[in-house]
Amino acid sequence: MAKRKFSRRVYVKNAFLERLLFIFKLLSSFFALGLVVFLFLVFYYSRDLPQPEKFSERRSSQPTKIYDRTGENLLYTIFGEEKREIISLDKMSPYLKNAVVAVEDKNFYSRHFGIDFRGIARAILADLKVGASAQGASTIPQQLIRSTFLTPEKTIERKAREIILSIELDFRYSKDDILGWYLNQVPFGSNAYGAEAASETFFSKKASDLTLAEAATLASLIQRPTTLSPYGKNLNLLLERKDYALDRMVKEGYISPVMAQEAKKEKLNFAKPSAPIVAPHFVIYVKKYLEEKYGEEYLQTNGLKVYTTLDINLQKSAEEFLKNGVTRNENFRAFNAALVAIDPHSGDILAMIGSKDYFAESYPKGCTPAKDCLFEPEFDVATMGLRQPGSAFKPFVYVTAFEKGYSDQAIVIDEQTDFGIWGGKHYVPQNYDGLFRGPVTLRQGLAQSLNVPSIKVLMNLSTIKDSIETAKKMGITSLREYTYYGPALVLGGGEVTLLDMVSSYSVLASGGLKMKPSAILKIEDGEGQIIEQREINPKRVLSSKSAQLITSILSDNEARAPIFGLHSSLYVSDSVAVKTGTTQNYKDAWSIGYDKDIVVGVWAGNNDNSPTNDKPGVALAAPIWKNFIKATIEGRKQ
């Protein structure tokens, strides 16, 4: 009996060992197969690989160039020809070397041999957590190899080659050699490649003389050199990343917390940008589109030629008239202005000015948005400034009524009216001159910009909901749901951008057809092949009858004369329509007008939304508008 039990125990033990042996053989087979596959991939992807020491033979980058519509006037070069001065690693500030390692590859000197498996695993886990590609895990050797020998395409083959070369590079050379090559090659933006060129470009000093704060700033630019440029609109993001770099240096033991705090407080004095830029706000608007579609790295190296819609002659004319107009307006405490001109037949943006002078100092000097900044030169009011349009919104309400079948001869009563409780109190609006006229036609109400009749059109004929739908169809993109607004909507209660307003008025100029505003005619790659081209696809959003009726009213000088006079700054000719707008407390002044071939909008006021000296749109914005559109019309005859 005991013998039988012993035999069964031996049998079980042998079965377990056999199963364990089977699993071991199976794992060995998988390992062997994996090793064979790995060696095959190494052999396959390493064929014809360049030698990593040949950095002097790297592929030369080609800049992206942005032109006006003729292709004869260069507006801007994205990175242009590389500004570079090769220096040895020992001639670079230790702060810069440590900052770059801290933010770009913290394990560079320790745990990896060209690639960082821990970093890759950490990035994969982070990406899985957010459900998108959120983090990268490229080491300094990988970045160096990728920018030197490989294309930016995201394929398995390219990644495999990158890994193989990075390992080879790390095996053959010292860490300092690799870091030196990297810091002499990496782009920092503004055409500056390498640490020395970047130091000269941004701080007018040698790389060896960089302070801790300056070094952390340059290290921060490597991630997104265009987006984080100190000469763009994202300076605050650059400064935030600079502070992040300093925190990383503390964590990695390069500096003390006290040094980091002192560096965070240091005021950075950036050198003035040396790269020429024409029509800067327009160019930045184009760059933003290009970066979102093609990516910064692609733009920096692939030699695109971008032919924009800008008319250089109209742009120069607009800049002159706007600057002169603001100089005059400063007497009335209006320190800024913006202008947009569009071709209503194509949607082409012909001229764009986001502020009176992109290169000027802010006013008051050194102000920030939090300190009552009346004028911010780099902020693009034309495309980014959400402002209330005042009575310039009224045509959307009236054209909605016309679309419903009402005539411009329909009558509303201009009298003191209580429109009910809105915002906790009775809403009893007044007309601009404080007078009431009794029965008036819709033509008179719009031409003379009468408030009470216009509110009655909104509430009784058009409705708030339908008026907002009309505005959205015509091109206004910033309005909220109709339930957010009340009767003051017709007086400009919703915030809009100048570009949207001009684009929407283009629908009126084109007889009811909407064209999406466009800044680019075509884009060619480095080989001259067209990779993108503007298409004209008009969409009817208003009946031609309603659009032409609004144009007839806005160009009726006699109809508006009782308020504005026969010889006001609104009259150019009988073929030019125009509408002004003034917001509550005179914070914003507008003038938007057009003929059959051009639509022009002007905004005047202050960046911090402070009021002007009781001056309406007809006094602040209209003179700039009139001078420009009149010169444009006269220029066609020559």
Specify the DSSP class assigned to residue 74: E
Shared-domain flag, residues 105 and 40: no
25 or 179: which carries more pLDDT confidence?
179
Domain assignment present for residue 286? The answer is no
Is residue 135 over pLDDT 70? no
Q: Which of 277, 306, 326 is the last residue of a domain?
A: 277
> Distance between CA 142 and CA 166 in Å, rounded?
5
Shared-domain flag, residues 243 and 392: no
| pTM reported for the whole predicted model | 0.69
Domain assignment present for residue 63? The answer is no
Q: Number of structural domains, the chain?
A: 3
Report residue 341 as tokens.
């001109």
The DSSP-derived string for 529-589 is -EEEE-----EE-S-HHHHHHHHHHHT-HHHHHHHH-TTSTT-S-TT-EEEEEE-GGG-EE
Is residue 308 over pLDDT 50? yes
Shared-domain flag, residues 199 and 91: yes
445 burial level (CB within 10 Å; 0-12, 13-18, 19+) = buried
The DSSP-derived string for 523-540 is EE-TTS-EEEE-----EE
> What confidence tens digit (pLDDT) does each residue in 234-244 have?
999 999 999 99
Stretch 419-424: mean pLDDT: 90
Q: How far is CA 580 from the centre of its chain?
A: 28
> What confidence tens digit (pLDDT) does each residue in 353-367 have?
999 999 998 999 878
Band of pLDDT at residue 300, cut at 50, 70 and 90: confident
Shared-domain flag, residues 86 and 141: yes
116 or 65: which carries more pLDDT confidence?
65
CA distances 443 to 395, 403, 439, 520, Å, are: 11, 15, 12, 38
Query: Which CATH number belongs to the domain containing residue 211 in this structure?
Result: 1.10.3810.10
Shared-domain flag, residues 246 and 330: no
Band of pLDDT at residue 140, cut at 50, 70 and 90: confident
Residue 306 contacts by C-beta under 8 Å, 6 or more apart in sequence? Answer: 64, 65, 66, 67, 286, 290, 520, 523
Q: How far is CA 155 from the centre of its chain?
A: 29
Is residue 226 over pLDDT 70? yes
Domain assignment present for residue 624? The answer is yes
- The answer to whether the CB of 183 falls within 8 A of the CB of 135 is no
Bridge partners of 425, per DSSP, are: 422
- The answer to whether the CB of 383 falls within 8 A of the CB of 350 is no
Residue-level pLDDT at 426: 94
CA distances 303 to 63, 211, 262, Å, are: 5, 35, 42
DSSP H helices, 131-251, are 140-149, 156-172, 175-185, 195-203, 212-221, 235-251
By three-state DSSP, how is residue 446 classified? helix
Stretch 51-77: mean pLDDT: 75
Do the bridges between strand 438-441 and strand 530-533 make them parallel or antiparallel, or are there none, so unpaired?
unpaired
Number of Cβ atoms within 10 Å of the Cβ of 368? 10
Q: Which of 250, 277, 304 is the last residue of a domain?
A: 277
Half-sphere exposure of 148 (CA within 13 A, CB side): 27
Domain assignment present for residue 303? The answer is no
Q: Return the residue matching tokens 């250089």.
A: 312
Mean pLDDT over the full length of the chain: 87
Stretch 438-445: mean pLDDT: 97
> What confidence tens digit (pLDDT) does each residue in 545-554 have?
999 999 999 9
Domain assignment present for residue 38? The answer is yes
> Distance between CA 605 and CA 333 in Å, rounded?
8
Residue-level pLDDT at 246: 97
Shared-domain flag, residues 171 and 101: yes
Shared-domain flag, residues 87 and 230: yes
Report residue 63 as tokens.
């800049």
Report residue 14 as tokens.
């042998």
Instruction: State the DSSP H helix or E strand holding residue 617, giving kind and residue range, or none if neither.
Output: helix 617-620
Residue-level pLDDT at 1: 45
Is residue 42 over pLDDT 80? no
Domain assignment present for residue 305? The answer is no
Residue-level pLDDT at 32: 61
- Residues spanned by the domain of 241: 79-277
Residue-level pLDDT at 27: 64
Is residue 400 over pLDDT 80? yes
Domain assignment present for residue 311? The answer is no
Q: Which of 277, 304, 325 is the last residue of a domain?
A: 277
Residue-level pLDDT at 276: 75
Shared-domain flag, residues 246 and 110: yes
Query: Which CATH number belongs to the domain containing residue 426 in this structure?
Result: 3.40.710.10
Shared-domain flag, residues 253 and 333: no
Q: At what angle do helices 394-403 and 464-474 cross, to 10 degrees?
A: 100
Is residue 323 over pLDDT 70? yes
Shared-domain flag, residues 619 and 542: yes
Widest pairwise Cα distance in the chain: 126
> Distance between CA 250 and CA 316 in Å, rounded?
50
155 or 383: which carries more pLDDT confidence?
383
Shared-domain flag, residues 465 and 587: yes
450 or 48: which carries more pLDDT confidence?
450
Domain assignment present for residue 363? The answer is no
Q: Tell me the chain's radius of gyration from C-alpha atoms.
A: 32
> Distance between CA 292 and CA 576 in Å, rounded?
37
By three-state DSSP, how is residue 508 classified? helix
Stretch 612-625: mean pLDDT: 94
- The answer to whether the CB of 527 falls within 8 A of the CB of 371 is no
Shared-domain flag, residues 486 and 608: yes
Band of pLDDT at residue 37, cut at 50, 70 and 90: low
| Cis upstream peptide for 611 (omega within 30°) | no
- The answer to whether the CB of 180 falls within 8 A of the CB of 89 is yes
